Structure 1
Amino acid sequence: MPRRNPLSRAAALTAPLLVAAGVLAGLTACSGTTGPDESTGSSGTTAAPAQDGRAQRPSPTVTVPVTSAMPADVADMVLPTTGVQTRWTQGLDAFGRLAADTAVRGCLTERKTPAPPHEPPAFVRFSDIPDLPFIARNGFNGVIVPGAADSSKDRPAEGGAGQEVQERCMQTGMAVDQGLRSLYLKVQGQWFQEESSLRNHPRVVAALRGFGPCLAGHKVEARDENAFFALVDQRLQAGDTAGEHALAGAYAVCMKPVEDVRSELRKPLAARFRADHREEIAALNTALPAKIHELERRYSVRISFPAL
């Protein structure tokens, strides 16, 4: 059974893996290999969360309100500093996968070849910048991206020419997603690397010591985040919606003191980072909206961002 931890520690740094896992998951399943890892939304096999910090996505099952309004400052979409801002980041990343999936399906339809089994694009949340109000309301299940195709009828090709067509179309989809990500992936990866340094800040480490005892006060037996998300996985695998939502509520309460500290520390860190990368960010403000609108027109899809 796949792991379903819904939070990603380094989604920006593993974006090519997410493309391979999300868009190409069915292909890897057909060929006998396994996709890298997933979190908040795609299929195939998924790795456990945690120590390696890779992105992880559970099967998307939840729908939430969305908005298509992009932020006035595009940097907020690429370089999030708060949980609320990560909703823009999630939407941007998911949009690339949505456009890629649409391109793949169009390619396969033209060649009368079925799409390989894989789950639809979904929003990927972040453990280092958790959106606590969203988690408290919606829990940890994956959130489906509006406009994603119905994947219930996807099926593997029966080898031979059909599988070769699937492979070629998958590569087409990967190129679409990477064409978007190439505009922002480098600077975003640098920002996440900077932001991740806060994990070892003495004030954050001290705040995290209260996480386990706080969970215990909510009758949750987990001494740290890894143990906690193992419980989340169990609830999701068992289809225990009430139990999973109870864990989400406890997480939102117990992680808040930690996130309050990190949020305070992020502000000067982000100000310095944006000053050091002002030219790259200025270029994004022109290039990224133009690319998004191009893909919206070409594939008849629309960018969307999760909302409360």
Structure 2
Amino acid sequence: MTRHAARCRFALRAAATAAALLLAACSNGAGRPDGAPATPVSPARLTHTLPDDPLTMVLPARGAETRWTQGLDVFVQQAGRVTAAACARDRDTDPPAAVPLAYIRFFDVPDLAFIARHGLSRSAEVPRPTASPRPHPAPRSAAARTARSGPVRDCADEGTAAAAALRAAFAPLQRQWFTAVAALRRDPAVARALAALPGCFADRGVPARDEMAFMGRAEERESSAGPAELPAVERSVGRTYATCMRPVEAVREPARLRLRDAFLAAHADEVRDLRSSLVPNLRAAERRYGLRLSFPAP
């Protein structure tokens, strides 16, 4: 999950960031990075359809599968926020401050089709929870109970504990999976494909030595575009990224699929238990918190 966490800051800023790349290209006559026309597309939408194998939500190997992973991640965060808000209502205080939730990409398993259509960060809107009964608080550690700093902090702690309790069922296995996925960057064939990225980026008007530099370049130019230009520019930059990453994914996705087969076999007991319990636990959480599992869709 390390690369996912490292990307979160970029993903929250990328709407403004991506715009600058197109404007910079236009200023020197290069046109859009990928040379494609700015054709409007319908916004991303939501779906509630679960994968055939619930483990796909936890252990994605294809880019499109990460849409389920993003939805699961947001659902857990929503459970924490519903708990914190209910606590604040009970105490007649303001709920803990929090940035709006968003569906965040997993760039070690990039969803290139989605990125090419909507850009590096634009996605479906996270749905608001429905009204729900007061959820029972999740147990907190003794340290958390004794290190209180007022009702707002207490409610934030209660929300964090609720999210952690829901995530605990799958997080250990998922952390191991994403650690294994990240290690594929050291595979010789993957490394060779990644080494071709700078030339591809440069050919499309974005000088960058790697993925991180590509996003950093976008971040440097984020203030160059106005709001009206953002959607078209985001899509243009997304197409550039997707075009350059396709040769990488042609090598890396088959490697991830083989890796997942081996991973499932090596963790057979945990996989069996989680496969049978994950969806019932999530359905129970939907009822408890007044939520509905939702996933972004193109």
TM-score by length of 1: 0.75
AA paired with 1:171? Answer: D
Aligned partners of 2:155 and 2:184: how far apart in 1?
A: 40
More helix by share: 2
Larger relative contact order (CA 8 Å, sep ≥ 6): 2
1:268 to 258, 266, 286: 258
> Kindly, what percent of the aligned residue pairs are identical?
36
1:307 is displaced (CA, Å) by 0.6
Counterpart in 2 of 1:121? 101
Counterpart in 2 of 1:72? 52
AA paired with 2:264? Answer: R
Aligned partners of 1:132 and 1:230: how far apart in 2?
A: 19
1:231 is displaced (CA, Å) by 2.3
2:297 to 288, 291, 307: 307
Counterpart in 2 of 1:184? 170
1:138 to 95, 110, 118: 118
Change (3 A) 1:204 1:249: same
Q: Does 1:281 align with 2:271?
A: yes
Counterpart in 2 of 1:102? 82
1:286 is displaced (CA, Å) by 2.2
AA paired with 1:97? Answer: Q
Q: Does 1:245 align with 2:235?
A: yes
What secondary structure is seen at the aligned counterpart in 2 of 1:175? helix
Q: Does 1:58 align with 2:19?
A: no
Counterpart in 2 of 1:154? none
Aligned partners of 1:283 and 1:254: how far apart in 2?
A: 39
RMSD: 2.4
1:245 is displaced (CA, Å) by 2.8
Change (3 A) 1:247 1:187: same
Alpha-carbon contact 1:99-1:177 (below 8 Å) kept:
yes
1:250 is displaced (CA, Å) by 0.3
Change (3 A) 1:79 1:179: same
Aligned partners of 1:247 and 1:142: how far apart in 2?
A: 12
Alpha-carbon contact 1:198-1:204 (below 8 Å) kept:
yes
Alpha-carbon contact 2:116-2:239 (below 8 Å) kept:
yes
What secondary structure is seen at the aligned counterpart in 2 of 1:69? coil
What secondary structure is seen at the aligned counterpart in 2 of 1:223? coil
1:256 to 242, 246, 255: 246
AA paired with 2:128? Answer: G
Moved more, 57-66 or 264-273: 57-66
Aligned partners of 1:132 and 1:114: how far apart in 2?
A: 40
Alpha-carbon contact 2:85-2:96 (below 8 Å) kept:
no
Counterpart in 1 of 2:196? 210
What secondary structure is seen at the aligned counterpart in 2 of 1:85? helix
Aligned partners of 2:223 and 2:285: how far apart in 1?
A: 35
AA paired with 1:224? Answer: D
Aligned partners of 1:237 and 1:104: how far apart in 2?
A: 35
Change (3 A) 1:100 1:70: same
Aligned partners of 2:83 and 2:77: how far apart in 1?
A: 10
Size of the aligned set, in residue pairs, is: 250
Change (3 A) 1:60 1:304: farther
1:236 is displaced (CA, Å) by 4.3
AA paired with 1:198? Answer: L
Counterpart in 2 of 1:201? 187
Which sections of structure 1, spanning at least 5 residues, go unmatched? 1-7, 15-36, 40-45, 47-55, 150-161
Moved more, 140-149 or 201-210: 140-149
Change (3 A) 1:173 1:148: same
**Per-residue CA shift, 1:113-137, capped at 9, x if unaligned?**
1124322222121111100111111
Which sections of structure 2, spanning at least 5 residues, go unmatched? 16-41, 131-147
